Amino acid sequence: MQPENTPTSLPKCESSYHTATHPKSINSRHRALMWRLAIGEKREDVAKDLGFSMVRISQIMQSELFQSELRELQQMIGKQVAVDESTKLHGNSVREKLASEAMASLNMLVGLRDNAQSERIKQLSAIEILNKAGYKECERVEADVHIDASEGLINAIQKAVGDGVSVLDGTNAGGEKDESTK
């Protein structure tokens, strides 16, 4: 005879076991797995490096979420390979053309700087040459700076300024406004 609270049969296992092993979201380890598989590494090597079992890799790879992102990654890699191949075929000729024209362009700027009628054209050419050489114009910046200074800093500044000028309010020792501090 069975006790009253004991079920007579075990509950059936539904297919939730299979879906429970799929990742609910893709984490950094899953992405590392995805990248390495996308570039053709062997599952065994990736499993060992990332600390996954072969069973776990299979479970992750069967996930719709993983499969979807893997397809997107493979498309992106495919597009990049196409761009790289196109650059190999055509990109060097563009770079070579630009490099060959660089000297002529520089010579034109030098010619404008040296021979132009307009002083403004001469100046702009000279500035452009300097900019290309890495000598950029200095930018002047004005700013109001407020400093909460300690008593020691105030004393050091007053000692350095001398003349009895108060650093805090710009007055001299007689209490008059000192115009030299403006």
- Helices H, strands E: what count in the chain? 8, 0
The pLDDT value recorded for residue 60 is 92
Both ends of the chain: CA-CA distance in Å?
104
Query: Tokens standing for 110?
Result: 């030098």
For residues 157 and 163, is the Cβ–Cβ distance under 8 A? no
Q: Given pLDDT bands bounded at 50, 70 and 90, which one contains residue 41?
A: confident
Within 8 A by CB and 6+ apart from 24, the residues are 65
Q: How far apart are the C-alpha atoms of 131 and 22, rounded to whole Å?
A: 57
pLDDT tens-digit series, residues 128-175: 888 877 777 777 778 887 777 788 888 888 787 775 655 555 555 555
Q: Which residue has the tokens 């990332």?
A: 50
Where residue 19 falls among pLDDT bands split at 50, 70, 90? very low
